[in-house]
Amino acid sequence: MIYVFLADGFEECEAIAPVDMLRRAGLNAITVKVRGGEEFGYTEVVGAHGIEITADGCCNEIGLNSLENLQMIVLPGGKGGVDNLYKSENIKKIIGYCVENKIRIGAICAAPSILARLGYLENIRATAYPSFRHYLTEGGAILEESEKIVTDGIFTTAVSAGVSVEFGLELVKVLKGEEESKKIAEMILL
């Protein structure tokens, strides 16, 4: 199972393109709404450009006990969405669980800053949107400024919306191998 966390203000293509690529690979990618104090079952979330998405579930419904089959979490960017993800104590616990249990984490655009601020990118090669890279260097990451997508250990980071499809394909690659990723890239004429 893969959780893709959506908070109000998320960058739409940074969430939807990776979900599309993961599902094309036959992976169980589930969108999960994150918002402090949300009611159970309320799954509408609004992206940075006003596109409303109905998520598959709510973060309040996910406890650490339900993470035993977790393969990966994905954190889309978008400043507002990233601010809202960072405010969520549940998200911080889930990220910590992933790090502790060596479960893969994908983060794109501004979202790698969450990992850096929580102290998880020290000595890890990573990238992020240019105006958020200072969080990575302050957090001890090895900043890869010339790379658009970087995988190091359990972490896959990417620079921006412009590489959303490629980011999704990299997530497929780390979970199912390069051949599956190439097959999907060919299928979509990338």
pLDDT digits (tens, 9 = 90+) for 112-124: 999 999 999 999 9
- What is the model's pLDDT at position 42? 67
Q: Confidence class of residue 186 from pLDDT cuts 50, 70 and 90?
A: very high
Mean pLDDT confidence for 41-45: 78
In whole angstroms, give the CA distance from residue 73 to residue 10: 15
Question: Which three-class secondary structure string do you get for 130-169?
Answer: HHHHHHHHHCCCEECCCCCEEEECCEEEECCHHHHHHHHH
Domain boundaries in the chain? 2-187
pLDDT surpassing 90 at residue 59: no
> Which pLDDT value is given to residue 75?
98
pTM of the predicted model as reported, rounded to 2 decimal places: 0.95
pLDDT cut 90: percent of the chain above it: 87
Render pLDDT for 63-76 as a digit per residue (tens, 0 to 9). Answer: 656 788 999 999 99
- Selected from 3.40.50.880, 3.30.70.1450, 3.40.640.10, 3.30.70.1050, the CATH number assigned to the domain covering 2-187 reads 3.40.50.880
Residue of 145, 135, 142, 95 whose CA lies nearest to 113? 135
Token pair, residue 87, equals 């405010």
